[in-house]
Structure 1
């Protein structure tokens, strides 16, 4: 007989791979082995003692025998549900809406920097305001669209949550939606796509500066994507989405999202919004 005593959750942690990914609902957690152990320490220090009940496990004759209430996985699930609820309480900030076509979006650089339209209808918040509000970490993006032909509701979410530990042993959730400063032409940073939109229409626009008809930053050797698509966007040698296009047109100049099988989904409604996760 050989014996050893350990905390049950620590035993389970030590049998995880060095880089572990767990999908809990809409959360994607990427943690190293060290951060798993630190996370459990945070749980032990911050959760009510009545909620965290450790258990002893003894290795006897080739098997583990438990004594006490081993609730490590349940506690992890409870904490993640609580974090999800706290996030859901955060308010969204809408920064783009297309719903009736009464506002012209084929505009110059200054208009896109400062914003235009009516916040109750078609409008653009403004690139400078977007930068100021998203320059900190922990922002998520959500895009709601309605197709022109069938009225189908599509949602594209951008929410990649990573858990890291600071020296003060705090829990930090971070996401990647950010608009860069004007000195970098309001470059888009976004990742963590999910939703029923079938295809990530912002994938090719990630890490691209903004372009308008009078500010060509699209990387196309000849021509201007903003002029060709009649909008302002984070074009990369043109587009896989064009939510600021011409409301009254179809084809490349209209409002559309890439379907993923060599065709565009034309839209009669789009709304882009962001919020702080945690």
Structure 2
């Protein structure tokens, strides 16, 4: 039986207090995103009190947790996710390498539940994006772009929210800051991705007369994304990474990441003790 510790406060992060959890065998809803041969890479297996996200794991470890795969529990069941601890406890929700061997031309259900390998190129899943960002804490989105010369550009949207499935996993974004261009909320290329529903090859929710997820470049479809008509940004096209003038056909990027973490002061409940953390 599981029990939860709830702190009745606004904009708090809640750590699920799990009792009697049998962690001898790794259990996670999205275990297909972690190859069996690397199940021993999960750094907090055996932990009876699971964090809601990677930031809570960092706080629970007093800042000592290292980068890697962790069990987190944003809702009722554990999932595996890659945590970028050295960058501040970000939960990685997407990673892509240009010309990735992972196919991002996927169906609605595949984008809902996630695909790929959390230790490499993957999409964590729209349902988990919803579970993570629905609160009670406010979340922000981090975008990291790397070009072939290893030049890194970063951007953050605060707040960041993905709505539930019946809305089409609609994207909601707040203010932007960073060294990358704002490719999601500024209509500089006649595309506006903020407030758009998610589109896949089998579910067309975009504003174009064709399905944007099916449109090909060099024989590769666009993949699922929050399209307008169609895209000034698309981090799920595996043969070319789009981010307006930062990443495109002429200015190639090699890698891209999307990550989430709480954006406000949170209260963490761990092993029955509460403490304030930034």
Q: What is the TM-score of this pair, normalised by structure 1?
A: 0.56
- Which aligned runs of 4 or more in structure 1 are off by greater than 3 angstroms? 260-265
Q: Within the alignment, does 1:108 sit opposite 2:107 as a pair?
A: yes
Distance in 2 separating the partners of 1:120 and 1:261: 23
Q: Which residue of 2 aligns with 1:226?
A: 213
Question: Would you say the 8 A contact 1:139–1:275 is kept in 2?
Answer: yes
Greater gyration radius: 1
CA shift digits 1:50-78 (9 cap, x unpaired): xxxxxxxxxxxxxxxxxxxxxxxxxxxxx
Residue 275 of structure 1: aligned partner: 261
After TM superposition, list the pairs within 5 Å mapping 1:52-201 onto structure 2.
91-99=89-97, 101-136=100-135, 137-148=137-148, 150-159=149-158, 176-197=159-180, 199-201=181-183
Task: Work out the number of aligned pairs and report it.
Answer: 167
Q: Distance in 2 between matches of 1:207 and 1:97?
A: 22
Distance across 1 between alignment mates of 2:223 and 2:262: 28
Unaligned runs of 5+ in 2: 1-62, 64-85, 186-191, 216-220, 266-278
The answer to whether the 8 A contact 2:247-2:253 is kept is: no
| 1:262 shift after superposition | 9.8
Q: For the structure 1 residues 122 and 242, does the alpha-carbon distance in structure 2 shift closer, same or farther, using more than 3 Å as the test?
A: same
Whole-angstrom distance in 2 between the partners of 1:147 and 1:90: 22
Describe the shift of the 1:154–1:261 C-alpha distance in structure 2 as closer, same or farther (beyond 3 A): closer
Give, in whole Å, the separation in 1 of the partners of 2:182 and 2:153: 12
CA distance in structure 2 between the partners assigned to 1:89 and 1:214 by the alignment = 36
Tell me, in whole angstroms, the C-alpha distance in 1 between the residues paired with 2:173 and 2:251.
21
Q: What per-residue deviation string (whole Å, max 9, x for no partner) do you get for residues 61-116 of structure 1? A: xxxxxxxxxxxxxxxxxxxxxxxxx9x99621100001361211111111000001
Q: Is residue 214 of structure 1 aligned with residue 202 of structure 2?
A: yes
Q: Partners of 1:225 and 1:89 in 2: how far apart?
A: 33
Task: Report deviation, 1:152.
Answer: 1.8
* Structure 1, gaps ≥5 residues long: 1-85, 160-175
Decide whether aligned partners of structure 1 residues 131 and 241 sit closer, same or farther in structure 2, where only a CA change above 3 A counts: same
Q: Would you say the 8 A contact 2:241–2:248 is kept in 1?
A: no
The equivalent of 1:245 in structure 2 is 237
The whole-number CA distance in structure 1 between the counterparts of 2:92 and 2:232 is 22
The Cα RMSD (Å) is 2.4
The CA deviation at 1:151 is: 3.1
Deviation at 1:264, TM superposition (A): 6.2
